[in-house]
Amino acid sequence: MKKLLSVWVMSLWGVLLTSFHAVEPVGLPRSSPTDFPSPARLAAEHYFGPVVDINPATIVGNFGEPRRAHFHTGLDFRTNQEEGHAIFAAADGYVSRINVSGAGYGHALYITHPNGYVTVYGHLREFHPRLQQRLRQEQYARESFAVDFYPNPSELLVKKGDTIALSGNTGGSGGPHLHFEIRDTLEQVYNPMLFGYQLKDDLKPVLGSLKFYPLDTLRHHSEGYRLRPVLKNGQYEMPAGTVQLNAQRIGFSVQAYDVMNRTEAHVGIYNLAVMDGNKLIYDARFNQLSFPEKRYVLSHVDYPIFLNEGRKSFHKCFVEPGNACGIYSHLLQAGEIDLSDGKVHALHIEVTDFNGNVSQLKMKVQYAPGATAFKPIPLRYTTRLDYDHDNTFSTTGFSATFPQGCLLDNLYPLYSVAQPTDTTIYSAVHSFGLPMHHLFDWATVSLQAEKLPPSLTDKAVVMLNGTTCLGGTFEAGRVSARTRELGRFTLQLDTTAPRAAALNIVPGRSMRAYKKLLFKISDNRSGIADFDTYVDGQWVVSDYDAKSATVTYPLPTALPAGEHTFRIVVTDERKNKRDYSISFKL
């Protein structure tokens, strides 16, 4: 079967692909950031080359762009909503990692270069035949579709411009494109535009609404205040003159995105700076990030707006106390503006893209005790969680622990408890905080298992807001699970096996012309943990796409004619199994 699959992979590529050149083994990764050549030097040397066969290249996603629960760590190159475009090695090096899964980057390649940088290529459809063969070797050795492994440095050598893969839509991709990153071996990730991936762009970023926040006694007691500037003679300004605010200390966020030539996509901005008079008080610049910093997006943008208003990015021009992200190159008083002097403050905001196109907003703000911009709202809460130390909340039947570092600012959650009306719930219904309350790091919740049958403790799971399964561990009459969101917590059981069904097998009809077998797999609660597929009793590799819940088995051309049996065994997180078999004809 392995040999048949290798023949099938090679036939797909035909003459499109170039062979890997014979190159000398490259050096081992460097260990110190001071050893890495500067991005500016590499850009000047044209060290990294094109990575996709579309010219001119355009992007649909920018470095540092706010995404759900993370900053985007690369460029998303457009592939014209098509799969199958050739993907090139950016420079000489060796394939240092191959990672394949049904989510995340899907089919992904990592190439380490002699200067210590690593380029990453995600959401690929398939690899160059030599890499595809190496992937299949690993998958068969482990009997697993999902693999993450590190070939030897001398094993898979590439030259700049070699075709290494075909573009696709695998993993968590929202449409066909290439996700491209540049990292160092210390896992710092850099804006690829620093290395010369600068695209044609003579269009200015776009500014939308501003939101003002009280940062004094009304903090956490007001929903804030929104205004929309107008564009006049190429510059944004406030239509009503000086903005009167009833708070002595304020901050604000600005809705902003970038537009570029040759694409209709709204992408992330590069730089945001604020002047208060002649003082620079805030400067955020997306040059590089570490992977632990990605989740600071929860604090950098107004995250409830992002979640509830179609992913609008309101970039905060002040920094909350628990936000230690490195994108802030200059801060004065954390970007907060002190209006207690009663004077008019002239603020100057500049939003800049990587090509230097600038949009400016000039406005005046002033403290006015009689203003009504910030309308007080009652703050109903059960406990206060402080961002700068450990926190524990405990009551009958429910507890939650928050290690220091979970929170980016103080939080005021309200707790309530109710008895369930749903007979599938085996605990009280514990509401703690709101679904919009997302945490930077993991907290632990623990629920008393009031009605849980002793024989089913291994099937118990903690559910968040009725839809998200957090898993859980049973001990001493309670089930505990980790969470990075707050909301409504309940205890339920998962005793139901996953579902599996064929999508395109027609009894009695030859499937040869179909070229692949398609199956849908799903689970009602804890989620799919693993699956295995077999043809005529022999384990075979099938591809899995989590977003469509589809398993695909490509039919090898050498599989003989006649009746065959396909079997799929699907296991969920609570170890419930579905064993499904179906006959097909060739």
Q: What is the pLDDT of residue 507?
A: 87
DSSP result, 338-403: E-TT-PPEEEEEEEE-TT--EEEEEEEEEE-TT--SS-B-----S--B-TTS-EEEEETTEEEEE-
Q: What is the pLDDT of residue 508?
A: 87
Structure tokens at 244: 């009167």
Structure tokens at 89: 């090695």
Q: What is the pLDDT of residue 216?
A: 95
Tens digits of residue pLDDT in 57-76: 999 999 999 999 999 999 99
Residue 536 has pLDDT above 90, yes or no: yes
Residue 83 has pLDDT above 70, yes or no: yes
Residue 386 placed within a domain: no
Q: What is the pLDDT of residue 23?
A: 42
Range of the domain at 240: 206-367
344 and 412 housed in the same domain: no
Tell me, what CATH number does 439's domain have?
2.60.220.30
φ, ψ of residue 514 in degrees (nearest 5): -75, -25
Q: What is the pLDDT of residue 450?
A: 82
> Residue 119: which H helix or E strand, with range?
strand 117-127
Tens digits of residue pLDDT in 156-205: 999 999 999 999 999 999 999 999 999 998 889 999 999 999 899 999 99
Residue 12 has pLDDT above 80, yes or no: no
Q: What is the pLDDT of residue 187?
A: 86
361 and 396 housed in the same domain: no
120 and 78 housed in the same domain: yes
Q: What is the pLDDT of residue 207?
A: 98
Structure tokens at 459: 């099937």
Q: What is the pLDDT of residue 34?
A: 54
Residue 380 placed within a domain: no
3-state SS assignment for residue 455: helix
> How many independent structural domains does the chain possess?
4
- Cis preceding linkage at 56, omega within 30: yes
211 and 343 housed in the same domain: yes
Q: What is the pLDDT of residue 20?
A: 52
Q: What is the pLDDT of residue 518?
A: 98
Residue 325 placed within a domain: yes
Residue 290 has pLDDT above 60, yes or no: yes
Q: What is the pLDDT of residue 18?
A: 44
* Residue with the larger pLDDT of the pair 551 and 24: 551
Residue 382 placed within a domain: no
Span 98-107, mean pLDDT?
Answer: 97
Tell me, what CATH number does 312's domain have?
2.60.40
